[in-house]
């Protein structure tokens, strides 16, 4: 069962991916926007809100990374935070470029309307319908990308869990190795002690035998040569 902290990390990552895709979709809407300026302003307001939500979730993920007990997991999450920050900066650059492109397009359309009058209005309506169709297609593509990224996040979580399990197995094996080393050292000491005891026993037997022979020789000498 996943730890509560792991659940928070997964949820935070999913929300970051969600806000990132929503920001990209809004930036695409700005590129496709043909006016008026009030529509562009409304889109920019939505982008600002999404950027604020995205920034907060990245900060939450960074805090979760700092709270990790294991250094390897901490560094992995911090690297993800850095990647998200870079992606957010890239989105901000795209946002500024999209605004510039949209404002130029609106200015050009307004100038063309003054020159062409009613014909341009009909053409603009057709353009809007085409842009709406294109926007719908892009939205569907972004949703597909969102699902793919969600699957990648899930695979990353499974890989991380596998890594944690492998680390625990290695630690357990290391503890068993230490225990076996202690047993081997104890056996070596016992063998050394046994060898010393065996040498002592042999020496005592030799001394006892020598004393016995000396006693026998002494008795024989007294019996056979009492005058000596």
pLDDT of amino acid 156: 67
Cis peptide before 166 (omega within 30 of 0): no
pLDDT tens by residue, 152-167: 767 767 767 776 676 6
Sequence-distant (≥ 6) Cβ neighbours of residue 99 within 8 angstroms: 30, 40, 44
Side-chain-side CA neighbours of 199 within 13 Å: the count stands at 6
DSSP at 2: -
pLDDT of residue 124: 66
Is the predicted pLDDT of residue 218 greater than 70, yes or no? yes
d(CA 137, CA 50): 22
Residue 56's pLDDT band (boundaries 50, 70, 90)?
A: very high
Establish whether the linkage from the previous residue to 36 is cis, with ω within 30° of 0: yes
Q: What is the DSSP string of 83-106?
A: HHHHHHHHHHHHHHHHHHHHHHHH
Whole-angstrom distance, CA of residue 97 vs CA of residue 103: 10
CA separation for the pair 175, 173 (Å, rounded): 5
- pTM for the whole thing? 0.48
Tell me how many degrees the CA angle 181-177-192 measures, rounded to the nearest 5: 10
Q: Which domains does the chain have, with CATH numbers?
A: 1-114 (1.20.58.400)
Tokens representing 102 are 């949209």
Q: What single DSSP character describes residue 70?
A: S
Q: Is 68 left (phi over 0), alpha (psi -120 to 50) or beta?
A: beta
Band (pLDDT 50/70/90 cuts) for residue 1 is very low
Block residue for tokens 């056979």:
224
Q: Is the pLDDT of residue 2 over 50?
A: no
Structure-block tokens of residue 128: 């809007």
């Amino acid at each position: 069962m996943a730890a509560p902290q792991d659940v928070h990390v997964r949820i935070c990552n999913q929300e970051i991916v969600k806000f990132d895709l929503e920001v990209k979709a809004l930036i695409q809407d700005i590129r496709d926007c043909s006016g008026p300026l009030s529509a562009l302003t409304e889109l920019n307001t939505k982008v600002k809100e999404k950027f604020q939500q995205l920034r907060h979730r990245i900060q939450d993920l960074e805090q979760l990374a700092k709270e990790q007990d294991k250094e390897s997991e901490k560094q992995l999450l911090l690297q993800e935070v850095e990647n998200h920050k870079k992606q957010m900066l890239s989105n901000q650059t795209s946002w500024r470029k999209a605004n510039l492109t949209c404002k130029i397009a609106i200015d050009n359309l307004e100038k063309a309307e003054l020159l062409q009058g009613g014909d341009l209005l009909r053409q603009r309506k057709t353009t809007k319908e085409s842009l709406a169709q294109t926007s719908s297609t892009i939205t569907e593509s972004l949703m597909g990308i969102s699902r793919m990224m969600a699957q990648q996040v899930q695979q990353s979580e499974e890989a991380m869990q596998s890594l944690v399990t492998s680390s625990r197995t290695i630690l357990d094996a290391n503890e068993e190795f230490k225990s076996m080393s202690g047993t081997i050292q104890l056996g070596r000491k016992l063998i050394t002690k046994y060898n010393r005891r065996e040498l002592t026993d042999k020496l005592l037997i030799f001394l006892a035998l020598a004393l016995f022979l000396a006693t026998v020789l002494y008795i024989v000498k007294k019996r056979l040569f009492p005058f000596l």
